[in-house]
């Protein structure tokens, strides 16, 4: 069940990547597949041939990624479940860009051969000089901050997480304000068109920041239910996450459809050509642009200018997270399969990071099965490892360290009210520990 849920949580990344990248084949702001082309090139057979080639390659990559999930579901892959999951997720994020980068390079070569490169220097438009859209008032974001803090009233164990999410809602307000400082949606010399395109993006993504803030509040509510009604809490969390992703994609697609419609007749004369500022069509590098955040050519909303230190730091941190995924999977798999050592010394019992003085043990019980309503509060819960703070009606709050596939289990209560649920990966060893603690 855990394995199936794990793959269901990420398989949708591939259709999403296909949808986003396939949309790059539509001309918007004189761009197709990250390459700026004049209006006359839109129906050029060589350009259309490259577009068709890209879509074929993209389909092959995406289908291959989905098929790779099948062997990962086999029992033989269970030992390396998290490693395979992390490697696949990294591939699903990166691999679809390969056809994009390759086809973009061929289009750039075609552009040079046809003499379509715009040599006139690109002008910069100051968005402050444009008539501003009406800003959403800050008080609209405030209730989302307060809603994130409500679960603290009945779930103190997760106070830090709820407070962090409340801070995120405040940051969404600052992100919304920063959105208005982004580079203008300049396509050609038509200032009115630049104004309209800029306001469309600002209005659409301003609403998205607000939606995200309240989605964060709803996530807090869903997570607070995990320890009380696990299936409802998990269902709400998954549904809210999916809804938020869909809303973000729909916001960007709605913006792109309007861009496509409004720029249908642009590019006949002079047009903005910044292809040389985009590395692979993905990374923006422009030392002459003082802004750190700019409108992205591909993907959702904004990206960073890696020509400046803040942009380098953000991009470096992002790459570090992506590259760390396989190592995280290896660590999780190792932790899920290595021996669980529970030892009894002269004065205390030791189990991982838990230490229980023997003179404080008030009661010890040997359980053949785990409580059916054991719920995670903070910690790890995978097929072969339960570790951290958990809760159930039978035990109350309990610190757990065990393999749920190997019983029996030790339930230890101490004189100061603490409770521990422990087990090794050796049934006989666990029974022997119980015999020593019970004085048998």
| Residue 98 predicted with pLDDT over 90 | yes
pLDDT per residue over 19-31, tens digit each?
889 988 988 888 8
Cβ(408)–Cβ(430) under 8 Å?
yes
The residue with tokens 């830090």 is 160
Query: CA dist 294 to 195, 282, 287, 297, 349, Å?
Result: 16, 12, 13, 9, 57
Closest CA to 96 of 24, 200, 28, 14: 14
Residue 239, CA atoms < 13 Å, CB-side half-sphere: 9
Cβ(255)–Cβ(205) under 8 Å?
yes
Predicted pLDDT of residue 134: 66
Percent above pLDDT 90 for the chain: 15
| Residue 127 predicted with pLDDT over 50 | no
pLDDT per residue over 295-346, tens digit each?
777 766 678 888 889 889 988 998 998 889 889 888 878 777 777 888 888 8
Q: Which residues contact 428 (CB under 8 A, 6 or more apart)?
A: none
pLDDT per residue over 30-75, tens digit each?
888 989 888 888 888 999 999 999 999 999 999 999 999 999 888 8
List the single range of 209-218, 274-283, 298-307, 393-402 with lowest mean pLDDT. Answer: 298-307
Across 239-243, 273-277, 296-300, which has the greatest mean pLDDT?
Answer: 273-277
List the single range of 14-18, 44-48, 220-224, 267-271 with lowest mean pLDDT. Answer: 267-271
Predicted pLDDT of residue 216: 85
The residue with tokens 């390969």 is 98
Report how far residue 178's alpha carbon sits from residue 118's, in angstroms, rounded to the nearest whole number.
30
Cβ(394)–Cβ(419) under 8 Å?
no
| Residue 86 predicted with pLDDT over 70 | yes
| Residue 160 predicted with pLDDT over 60 | yes
Cβ(279)–Cβ(297) under 8 Å?
no
Using alpha carbons only, give the angle 156, 160, 161 rounded to the nearest 5 degrees.
100
| Residue 92 predicted with pLDDT over 50 | yes
**Average pLDDT, rounded, for the chain:** 82
pLDDT per residue over 354-366, tens digit each?
898 888 888 888 8
Task: Give the model's confidence band at 188: pLDDT under 50 very low, under 70 low, under 90 confident, else very high.
Answer: low
Q: Taking residues 291-295, what's their average pLDDT?
A: 77
Task: Give the model's confidence band at 130: pLDDT under 50 very low, under 70 low, under 90 confident, else very high.
Answer: very low
């Amino acid at each position: 069940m855990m394995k199936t849920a794990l793959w269901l949580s990420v398989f949708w990344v591939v259709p999403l990547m296909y949808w986003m990248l396939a949309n790059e084949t539509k001309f918007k702001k004189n761009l197709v597949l990250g390459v700026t082309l004049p209006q006359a090139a839109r129906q050029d057979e060589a350009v259309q041939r490259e577009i068709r080639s890209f879509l074929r390659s993209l389909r092959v990559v995406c289908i291959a990624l989905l098929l790779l999930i099948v062997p990962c579901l086999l029992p033989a892959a269970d030992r390396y479940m998290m490693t395979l999951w992390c490697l696949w997720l990294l591939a699903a994020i990166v691999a679809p860009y390969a056809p994009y980068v390759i086809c973009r390079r061929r289009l750039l070569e075609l552009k040079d051969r046809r003499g379509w490169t715009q040599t006139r220097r690109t002008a910069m438009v100051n968005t402050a000089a444009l008539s501003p859209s009406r800003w959403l008032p800050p008080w609209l974001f405030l209730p989302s901050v307060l809603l994130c803090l409500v679960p603290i009233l009945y779930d103190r164990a997760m106070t830090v997480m709820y407070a962090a999410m409340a801070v995120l809602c405040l940051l969404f307000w600052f992100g919304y304000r920063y959105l208005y400082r982004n580079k203008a949606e300049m396509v050609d010399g038509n200032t009115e068109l630049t104004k309209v395109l800029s306001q469309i993006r600002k209005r659409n993504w301003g609403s998205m920041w607000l939606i995200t803030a309240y989605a964060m509040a709803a996530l807090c509510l869903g997570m607070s239910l995990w320890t009380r009604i696990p299936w409802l809490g998990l269902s709400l969390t998954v549904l809210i996450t999916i809804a938020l992703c869909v809303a973000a994609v729909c916001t960007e697609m709605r913006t792109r459809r309007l861009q496509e419609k409004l720029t249908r007749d642009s590019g006949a004369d002079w047009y903005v050509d910044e292809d040389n500022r985009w590395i692979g069509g993905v990374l923006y590098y422009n030392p002459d642009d003082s802004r750190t955040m700019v409108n992205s050519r591909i993907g959702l909303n904004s990206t960073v200018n890696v020509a400046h230190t803040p942009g380098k730091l953000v991009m470096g941190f992002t790459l570090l997270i992506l590259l760390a995924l396989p190592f995280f999977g290896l660590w999780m798999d190792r932790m899920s399969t290595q021996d669980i050592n529970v030892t009894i010394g002269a004065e205390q019992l030791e189990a991982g990071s838990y230490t229980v003085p023997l003179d404080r043990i008030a009661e010890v019980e040997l359980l053949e099965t785990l409580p059916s309503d054991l719920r995670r509060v903070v910690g790890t819960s995978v097929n072969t490892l339960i570790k951290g703070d958990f809760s159930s009606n039978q035990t109350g709050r309990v610190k757990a360290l065990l393999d749920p596939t190997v019983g029996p289990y030790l339930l230890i209560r101490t004189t100061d009210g603490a409770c521990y649920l422990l087990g090794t990966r050796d049934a006989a060893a666990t029974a022997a520990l119980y015999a020593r603690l019970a004085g048998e």
